[in-house]
Amino acid sequence: VSDASGCSMIAVLHTGAAKFPQNLLSRSRQAVSLLFPAGVLKGFSSIVSRKLASHGFGASMAAMSSFPPQRYHYFLVLDFEATCDKPQIHPQEIIEFPILKLNGRTMEIESTFHMYVQPVVHPQLTPFCTELTGIIQGMVDGQPSLQQVLERVDEWMAKEGLLDPSVKSIFVTCGDWDLKVMLPGQCQYLGLPVADYFKQWINLKKAYSFAMGSWPKNGLLDMNKGLNLQHIGRPHSGIDDCKNIANIMKTLAHRGFIFKQTSKPF
């Protein structure tokens, strides 16, 4: 029941219970129970719950209570796609740069960074590369260089509060290639510095093997199969691979797994 301002009288009785004299409170509750059958009140409670959930309260509380807390406030899921061919071309260049910001308490995606990158040494994508990644020439032509994308990553990290020393975050990749080989190798070739936040990460393959007791030889496909998860999107799409990584992490976290850094310090 609502008054002209939209305030529920039932809500008032619940939230203001501490302020009511006991005899008045008891009589008010009796009056409400006579006016409204139990089913109506139950329905009202359901509406309130949905309203809270729509603002993130219900989902967050349920998620936080369903698995143990992680060591990090945020996980930054990353999966590069790069120029490639058979035989392999050198140097390889990053052409897709996606990051998902995963909340360490709820394991839900809070923010996304996603850009395509213009290759400069081998600007023309090979047919093999397009077939593997689904990235066509028009998706990289005219896009920012790696240096410009790295600058935008830093701006995004700052905007998301990830550069605050009190906020613990770590990158997560499917394997060590992205941050041990690809990014430092291309930055060295181009004479670019590598930000410190790229120098520690969690290899999801190692985390999965610790949690499940088996090594995923085929990467995401094996991990999804081992956890009975449906594969999301297209294999070797950077942004889709990130979504699969996030889904696997969420599933492992709900099983009680605590993620730890797997990379060795630089």
Residue 230 within any structural domain of the chain: yes
236 among known catalytic residues: yes
Q: Please check whether residue 180 lies inside any domain of the structure.
A: yes
Instruction: Tell me whether residue 65 is in a domain.
Output: no
Whether residue 166 is contained in a domain is answered as yes
Residue of 81, 93, 96, 160 with catalytic role: 81
Residue 168 lies in a domain: yes
Mark out the alpha helices in 142-237 (DSSP H runs). 146-159, 183-190, 204-212, 220-226
Kindly give, in sequence order, each residue whose CB lies less than 8 Å from that of residue 264, ignoring residues fewer than 6 positions away.
Answer: none
Distance CA 60, CA 67 (A): 12
Structural domain total, the chain? 1
Distance CA 171, CA 102 (A): 10
With respect to residue 38, please indicate whether it lies within any of the assigned structural domains.
no
How confident is the prediction along the chain (266 residues), in pLDDT tens digits per residue? 333 333 333 333 333 433 334 444 445 445 444 444 444 444 444 444 444 344 443 444 444 456 889 999 999 999 999 999 999 999 999 999 999 999 999 999 999 999 999 999 999 999 999 999 999 999 999 999 999 999 999 999 999 999 999 999 999 999 999 999 999 999 999 999 999 999 999 999 999 999 999 999 999 999 999 999 999 999 999 999 999 999 999 999 999 999 999 998 75
Here the CATH number for the domain that contains residue 221 is: 3.30.420.10
Q: Residue 207 domain-assigned?
A: yes
Q: What's the domain range around 105?
A: 74-255
